[in-house]
Structure 1
């Protein structure tokens, strides 16, 4: 798998032992359906940990394993299981998608919103959307069949499994550093093992099911306990304590002397993942004992992303240092804590009691005023940019640089990595006068760090400015944020993760038009749509373009805020299959072209140029020019930008 820095490291064993680092399941904030769409989304879900170092029970692991079985065998999962496992073992009552004739023997699991019972249909919502067949859920069985399967595991495989395969499945296969021990699929000793009860030894094994089902098997006593309950119907419940008691009672009923069984689990050997020692500018400044600011009275432009590797804020570091006199704070768009989406007012920081001057309280307040700078010697800038021209933090920095130059102050940029990589330059140059969302004459995706942008702007517009950039250390231009080991903090309220940041240059480009870019959902800048869009037609059209590194799943969603708030929208969930090669800006052009072609009367193109700032591209989209022709038309501008950019770069 690809998609982030963790996925290429995932093995089959990681999936089987729930140590892949994948998320627990699919995030849910929209409606979708289809087996293939489920696989695409499972493979595209961002990792939440590191393979081999984090235990997290994950449905995604087994969704993907089920697809692997289907691909390797060349058969649908349900057919392979029936032909190779159930029929040879005589498990006649076990299957996916049970015969409707068996409905009377199947326990209902829950009441649906319309008052009907869910019965004979898989309870798990993801498996249900995938058509009832998935690697993690959807199998129906009986106690007789499960008892037959348990005996096969105790008695050598029944001609279906080799004894050595059973030994692998039922012995610890988790990495030695993981203290939650699992076999290949089976639980052995983890937070889910309470059904073992008080007597069964730690070498025993089994599994649980969400609806209250469980099975536990012990080789020493040659016994097993199967419990098919339904904790969901009708109003939910908890069977953890009951499972444990049943496990104890079953073990007692065997009459076996469990004191003769010694624990056979291998010892846990702690081990930490190797993490690159990337240092942002604030980490370097702190390590060097604030030498660049020693003895200075300082003003600080920052927000919640201004932190060091230990998540201590730049505000606190400067405020507590005896080398620096931090006098006041400046709050950009979203404020110094990054929680505001509207106008930001002046105030006082609750923690430090320092005055906070707003740089986002109106167009005439975006630039620090002379009276704010009169009592300081240096203006420091520390915020996480995301590598896109219309993300306004670089505009705030540019205006502050002008103010510092006018006041004769030192301007210090604490550089930070470009999270989406700094070796990709894409999109048109600005064609027109500067605006707050198009402040610098750079491409839409500029491929620079904020410190390099500062060097460019000083060179071209503020040559008298006394600029110091504290550089990032141990970072390469091609590294994305998830390869740095640095903590991710939302740069703004609707930038929750690296996937959103990667797609932002494309989706954000269109958000002044009448579309939803996912604001007011759990997937800002990962879903895209509008009330007038037919999701099936739209996603199919996007998929046909075959943009590298991307997949499109038709979805319906209802934003709670921003465009189309509380209106159901059709559209697409955009899956990052290969973020490093994702053509984000070209994606924005594809979305615009598709809207123009499918919904010429409903999509309002008139505000597209607000962030695009390139009338020729806007005209080409209106005229439905080929996408590649549009992309190629930017080359002349990018060629002229190359030497300007090269002259200020700090990193290889």
Structure 2
């Protein structure tokens, strides 16, 4: 009896072990689980410190940075991943002398209003001088670069032509080229890199909110954009900047990326960043895009619109001391639940124009600068449909795609 019981037990264990061996073999990934198997966290150029810190050793360095210049690292004192500001990290590195910091629009800490002139100052944490590139000068002067061996550029972009950080990039590259100073560029993801759309900027409408002949949404990281500035000869006298790009790891243009730090006061979340290329056109009209509320670039409205149930009232807040239609009731739409866009949506702009009571006051001079062409305003005033307007962009977008393809670093 005991012998038979032991024999049965061994037989059961033998069969069970074979079952486990077969069932535990790796199952080939299916269409549903492939992404989970291969998805890897994006490592920004700033995070890859071993690639650029050695290049800075023994150098006098200037850094172009703002509140988005964050490094995610494990500290030797803390096993968990910790955030460091790039300026603090480099300033505390051995054998590197950080001489000064250059700050773009919105300032070093990113709290100033859009368009507000920023004064030079001193960083209270490091004691480093902060030179504004959105005050007396938008381009580093020869005096401000005197004695600098190398410049490091690290600012989070959102991939839209009228977002001024790429204009700051242009002037920094130009100043470095003029002074024979190498520029190290720490690349970051573009949250709007998954598409290309909008009218191409015409040269006669060049300004700080549009310096280059590119569409509104250009589908490139800021590192790739820097390569294009160099390659297309857009710097003064077609100069070339000595540019080293620290590329990202595990990044592609269609990979979703949620910004860990808001890039400016009025882009508070992923929805606003995605809607920004479509809603920023309202900055050139008498319609508010939500500045002075908690839903910036997620709503639009005006006291002059009719037929809308949604309403809001702008008040002074961080990043909008004097918002459009301050303390007035605005009527419009709440777009905060809109699905992610993969193209510019003109329907809201067209609808607002058609339903405004004061069409002659709808557009202001800033609209043409944002659009980069007079044609868009004329098309809307002539009652063209959104489809008709977008058809007029096709030829320019096709030409740009060919130019863009020469400078891509990622798929």
> TM-score interval w.r.t. the shorter chain?
0.7 to 0.9
The match for 1:402 is 174
Q: SS state of the match for residue 101, structure 2?
A: strand
Question: Is the CA contact (8 Å cut-off) linking 2:64 and 2:152 kept in structure 1?
Answer: yes
Query: What are the Cα deviations for residues 21-73 of structure 1, in whole angstroms up to 9, with x where unaligned?
Result: xxxxxxxxxxxxxxxxxxxxxxxxxxxxxxxxxxxxxxxxxxxxxxxxxxxxx
Match of residue 54, structure 2, among 285, 291, 314: 291
CA distance in 2, matches of 1:338, 1:398: 20
The match for 2:29 is none
The 5-angstrom pairing of residues 126-165 of structure 1 reads none
Question: How far off is 1:512 after superposition?
Answer: 2.6
The match for 2:209 is 437
The match for 2:134 is 360
The match for 1:465 is 241
Query: What are the Cα deviations for residues 325-383 of structure 1, in whole angstroms up to 9, with x where unaligned?
Result: 21100111111110111221011110110111111114xx0000000111101111111
Q: SS state of the match for residue 372, structure 1?
A: coil
Match of residue 363, structure 2, among 576, 596, 605: 605
CA distance in 2, matches of 1:443, 1:320: 40
The match for 1:621 is 380
Question: Is the CA contact (8 Å cut-off) linking 1:431 and 1:615 kept in structure 2?
Answer: no
CA distance in 1, matches of 2:289, 2:353: 17
The match for 1:571 is 332
Give the alignment's TM-score, normalised by structure 1.
0.52
The match for 1:633 is 392
CA distance in 1, matches of 2:46, 2:332: 41
Question: How far off is 1:455 after superposition?
Answer: 0.3
Structure 1: 5+ residue stretches without partners: 1-273, 539-553
CA distance in 2, matches of 1:323, 1:477: 36
The match for 1:477 is 253
Question: How far off is 1:600 after superposition?
Answer: 5.8
Alignment partner of 1:369 is 2:141: yes
Question: Is the CA contact (8 Å cut-off) linking 2:356 and 2:362 kept in structure 1?
Answer: no
The 5-angstrom pairing of residues 90-489 of structure 1 reads 276-284=40-48, 286-288=49-51, 290-309=53-72, 310-341=82-113, 342-362=116-136, 365-420=137-192, 422-433=193-204, 434-461=206-233, 462=235, 463-482=239-258, 488-489=260-261
Q: SS state of the match for residue 143, structure 2?
A: helix
Question: How far off is 1:642 after superposition?
Answer: 1.2
Match of residue 593, structure 1, among 350, 353, 363: 350
Alignment partner of 1:560 is 2:315: yes
CA distance in 1, matches of 2:240, 2:157: 25
* The structure with more radius of gyration: 1
Question: How far off is 1:291 after superposition?
Answer: 2.5
The 5-angstrom pairing of residues 486-525 of structure 1 reads 488-525=260-297
Question: Is the CA contact (8 Å cut-off) linking 2:305 and 2:357 kept in structure 1?
Answer: no
Question: How far off is 1:278 after superposition?
Answer: 1.0
In structure 2, the CA distance between the partners of 1:402 and 1:289, relative to structure 1 (3 Å rule), is closer
CA distance in 2, matches of 1:343, 1:515: 24
Question: How far off is 1:288 after superposition?
Answer: 3.3
In structure 2, the CA distance between the partners of 1:323 and 1:644, relative to structure 1 (3 Å rule), is farther
CA distance in 2, matches of 1:446, 1:368: 26
Question: Is the CA contact (8 Å cut-off) linking 1:438 and 1:613 kept in structure 2?
Answer: yes
Question: How far off is 1:456 after superposition?
Answer: 0.2
Query: What are the Cα deviations for residues 423-446 of structure 1, in whole angstroms up to 9, with x where unaligned?
Result: 310001001332100012211001
CA distance in 2, matches of 1:597, 1:512: 16
Structure 2: 5+ residue stretches without partners: 1-37, 73-81, 317-322
Question: How far off is 1:498 after superposition?
Answer: 0.8
CA distance in 1, matches of 2:393, 2:52: 45
Question: How far off is 1:304 after superposition?
Answer: 0.2
The 5-angstrom pairing of residues 82-93 of structure 1 reads none
Q: SS state of the match for residue 168, structure 2?
A: helix
Query: What are the Cα deviations for residues 88-139 of structure 1, in whole angstroms up to 9, with x where unaligned?
Result: xxxxxxxxxxxxxxxxxxxxxxxxxxxxxxxxxxxxxxxxxxxxxxxxxxxx
CA distance in 1, matches of 2:123, 2:195: 38
Instruction: Say how many residue pairs are matched.
Output: 351
Alignment partner of 1:651 is 2:410: yes
The match for 1:43 is none
CA distance in 2, matches of 1:625, 1:606: 19
Question: How far off is 1:312 after superposition?
Answer: 0.8
State the superposition RMSD in angstroms: 1.8
CA distance in 1, matches of 2:95, 2:179: 23
